[in-house]
Amino acid sequence: MKKIGTGSLKYYIGSCKKNPSNVVDNSQGQLVLPRKGVEGGKACRKGLAQMIVIDELPFKFVESEGFKKFMFVACPRFHIPSRTTMTRDVYQLYLDERIKIKQLLRSSCSRVCLTTDTWTSLQRVNYLCITAHFIDNDWKLNKKILNFCPISSHKGESIGMVIEKCLLNWGIDKLFTVTIDNASSNDVAIGYLRKKFNPRIQNGKYFHMRCMAHIVNLIVVEGLKEMNKSVERVRGAVRYFKECVVVEKIECKKMLCLDVCTRWNSTYLMLDTAQNFERAFERFEEQDTNFRVELERREGWPSVDDWVNVRNLRDFLEHFYKVTLRISGTSYVTSNNFFDELSEIDILLRDAQLKSNVDFSVMVIKMKEKYDKYWGDIDKMNLLMYVACILNPRQKLKYLEFALSEMFSSEKACEMMQKLKESLYEFFDEKMQALYKKRELEICGEDKTSELDKYLAEANEEFIEDFEILLWWKVSSPRFPTLSKMARDVLAILVSTVASESTFSTGGRVLDQYRSSLTPKIVQALVCTQDWIRKSSSQEDIKKIEEQIQDLDKIENGLMQMEIFWREEIDINGEY
């Protein structure tokens, strides 16, 4: 006897005209649900690995009870991997993403600029971060962490060898500049790399780019030594400050914070907030007699003059703080604004020396001496930063000539302009290869005016705030094919090492006191992959997510229609 089955029901479902699955809607594609969940399982595993990396979760997170309960409700069929498997998945994700970055670097026609810095972890292990910056074929500025690896020492040659090994592993031979801080060991590292890679541009003369943020830091720290007494007294008051803000009804959203003495920007933030709380300090003195006694025994009580000095210093340091923020960007071009920031600092220091306050004037003189040490002589500077200013279509040579005449004597300004013009044309001639020169002459005939001359002869663009320099060069590249390639190289230079330094905050979270057993290989995979996939999680990924949500909505609607259909069938036939 044949057993009772569901064959007739399946046949009926396939032929019934009321079944929504049998109705073909020409306005949209037919929904097909996958029978097997293998592909979905792989996608879930990859998504889980991305979550571990992006959210900086420990690998044991996948074995936690709460996550298991959530997955049982959200996706009961998903097999949750162990922490060991999760480690392998994360490293495989790193390898897959690394291949994509390699292909991107290989397809890009521009040279690569590096920023690099060193860091010591809680486990007393020295790490070197190497970050690549380049403008791709679509004229987008890219920042990619190449290596986050331990180094044996901070000696220059050791650093140079690690950078060399990194570049060879990535297959990068079009190295343009290296932005690095002013440590003497870094000069040795640059010399090592210059020999190994033999940069074409004027024999590597402009290969070394000194970190602008680091020089600004040296200038400000030098000045703070002269104003240290007033700063120390306010710092002491902040340290012992308690709740008197409510009594004085001070409306300030900022909270008092104690600075790190070696970080001038934190000192600025402390003074910026503390000067709003002067009355609260005075009120607290009335309520707690020990407050003033304790301060007098240590740094001293902040007097009226101290508060005046602090406010003046705060207003003065604000300019340097904003400059540091602007030059520390990694998602936009900074090299074209180098000269603007430089001239702003120069004018600020010259004007500040005219103030009547003796202590303030002495402070500014010390800062100007430090400024002149690094930026007072054009021969000690990387002229590519001036070239970047010229390649800004809003400035060019005319603006540069005017600004230099304001900063220096007319004789020195003329001398500097002559050197800049010579370097600019040498750079352009090196970019223009002999074969291309010949072809251009054949095309242009008797017109021997170079692209550079034509560019400089054109009227400057108007000064507008939202001017996009990369977009301008992208549109103008057909008119200036060689000069635009030169612009791609120069505009990719970063003027500070903040791109690499900011990675250390990620490294500190990855290598905290609870994850000290991670191997250097896994640490590098976590740090680099987080940088890569976070950058890719842009509008393109948002669109993909929106499409996936739309697909899920279609599936949900389809299931609801099937449920309505079966309910109608049950009501009609009275049986299932």
DSSP string, 127-149: EEEEEEEEE-TTS-EEEEEEEEE
Rounded to 5 degrees, φ, ψ at 225 are -60, -30
Distance of CA 479 to the CA centre of its chain: 31
Q: Please give the residue that has the higher pLDDT: either 146 or 513.
A: 146
* Domain match, 137 and 186 both: yes
> Which is higher by pLDDT, 113 or 549?
113
**How large a percentage of the chain has pLDDT more than 70?**
74
pLDDT digits over 119-176, tens only? 777 777 888 899 999 999 999 999 999 999 888 888 888 999 999 999 999 999 888 9
Residues 125 and 170 in one domain: yes
pLDDT on residue 247: 53
Please check whether residues 67 and 135 belong to one and the same domain.
Answer: no
Do residue 83 and residue 113 come from a single domain? no
Cα–Cα distance for residue pair 465/574, rounded to 1 Å: 73
Inform me whether the pLDDT recorded for 525 exceeds 50.
yes
Q: How far apart are the C-alpha atoms of 69 and 65, rounded to whole Å? A: 6
pLDDT of residue 276: 82
- Say which range, 90-99, 260-269, 451-460, 536-545, has the weakest mean pLDDT: 536-545
Q: Check whether 571 has a pLDDT greater than 80.
A: no
Higher pLDDT pick, 190 / 570: 190
Q: Which two tokens stand for residue 206?
A: 């402009």
Find the helix packing angle between 481-491 and 469-476, rounded to 10°. Answer: 160
pLDDT tops 90 at residue 224: no
| Range 497-502 average pLDDT | 73
Give Cα 370 to chain centroid, integer Å. Answer: 28
| Helices 212-224 and 358-375: angle between axes, nearest 10 degrees | 150
What CATH number is associated with residue 544? 3.30.420
Are the beta carbons of 502 and 482 closer than 8 angstroms?
A: no
- Chain centre to alpha carbon of residue 189: 23
Flag whether pLDDT at 68 surpasses 50.
yes
407, 408, 414, 418: CA torsion to nearest 10 = -70
**What does the pLDDT read at residue 67?**
94
By C-alpha distance, which of 74, 4, 319, 238 is closest to 327?
A: 319
How crowded is residue 382: how many other Cβ atoms within 10 Å of its Cβ? 20
The model's pLDDT over 267-318, given as tens digits with 9 standing for 90+, comes to: 888 888 888 877 877 776 676 677 677 777 777 777 788 888 888 888 999 9
> pLDDT band at 492, cuts 50/70/90?
very high
pLDDT digits (tens, 9 = 90+) for 11-45: 666 667 666 656 555 554 444 444 444 556 788 89
Mean pLDDT throughout 366-392? 90
DSSP 8-class letter at 333 = -
User: What is the model's pLDDT at position 32?
Assistant: 43
List the structure tokens of 105. Answer: 């670097």
- Better-scored residue on pLDDT, 498 or 569: 498
Hey, what are 467's tokens? 């001017």
Q: Which of 242, 255, 246 is nearest to 287 (CA)?
A: 242
Q: Residue 259 domain-assigned?
A: no
Structural domain including 139 reads: 108-210+511-561
Residue 466 confidence (pLDDT) = 82
Percent of the chain with pLDDT over 90: 32
pLDDT score recorded for residue 249: 55
CB contact at 8 A, 81 and 48: yes
Tell me the Ramachandran region of residue 191: left when phi exceeds 0, alpha when psi lies from -120 to 50, beta otherwise: alpha
Interatomic CA distance for residues 525 and 211, integer angstroms:
27
List the alpha helices (DSSP H) in 432-497.
434-444, 451-457, 469-476, 481-491
Q: What does the alpha-carbon distance between residue 510 and residue 507 come to, in Å, rounded to a whole number?
A: 5
Q: What is the pLDDT of residue 511?
A: 54
Residue 553 located in a structural domain: yes
For range 182-188, the mean pLDDT = 86
Structure tokens at 54: 């992006």
Q: Which tokens hold the place of 418?
A: 């002559």
pLDDT of 515 higher than 90: no
Q: Which of 178, 188, 181, 125 is nearest to 151 (CA)?
A: 125
CA 560/CA 538 separation, integer angstroms: 33
SS3 541: helix
Q: What is the per-residue pLDDT for 10? A: 63
- SS3 state at 309: helix
Mean pLDDT of 360-385: 88
Instruction: For residue 418, give the 3-state DSSP assignment.
Output: helix
Backbone angles phi, psi at 120, to 5 degrees: -115, 125
Long-range contacts of 429-435 (CB under 8 A, 24+ apart): 430/200, 430/201, 430/202, 431/482, 431/483, 431/485, 431/486, 432/482
Q: Report whether pLDDT(212) > 50.
A: yes
Do 131 and 182 lie in one domain? The reply is yes
Does 89 have pLDDT greater than 70? yes
Q: Is residue 242 one of the residues assigned to a domain?
A: no
Helices (H), 27-82: 38-54, 65-74
Report if residue 455 sits inside a domain.
no
Mean of per-residue pLDDT scores for the chain: 79
CA 365 – CA 350 distance, rounded (Å): 9
What does residue 75 show for φ and ψ, rounded to 5 degrees?
Answer: -150, 80
Query: Per the structure, how many domains does the chain have?
Result: 2
User: Does residue 404 form part of some domain?
Assistant: no
Residue 61 and residue 133 in one domain: no
Whole-angstrom Cα distance, residue 343 to residue 351?
A: 12
Is 545's pLDDT higher than 80? Answer: no
Provide the pLDDT for residue 381.
86
Reading the block at residue 174, the tokens are 């079009």
- How high is the pLDDT of residue 537? 46
Tokens at 77, concatenated:
């069929």
Q: Which residues contact 489 (CB under 8 A, 6 or more apart)?
A: 110, 111, 113, 176
Structure tokens at 455: 């560019």
**Amino acid in position 470:** L
123 found inside a domain: yes
Q: Which tokens sit at 5?
A: 């089955």
One-letter amino acid of 333: V
Residue range 506-515: mean pLDDT, rounded? 56
Q: Quick one: pLDDT at residue 345?
A: 93
Is residue 187, in this structure, part of any structural domain at all? yes
Asked if residue 121 is part of any domain, the answer here is yes
pLDDT band for position 516 (cuts 50, 70, 90): low
For the entire predicted model, the pTM comes to 0.78
Residue 98 has pLDDT above 70, yes or no: yes
Please give the C-alpha separations between residue 347 and each of 326, 340, 404, in angstroms, as whole numbers.
Answer: 18, 11, 11
Does 441 score more than 80 pLDDT?
no
CA dist 403 and 386 (Å) reads 11
* pLDDT in the model for residue 7: 65
Q: What are the CA-CA distances from residue 350 to residues 354, 371, 376, 399, 550 (Å)?
A: 7, 11, 13, 20, 61
Same domain, 124 and 81: no
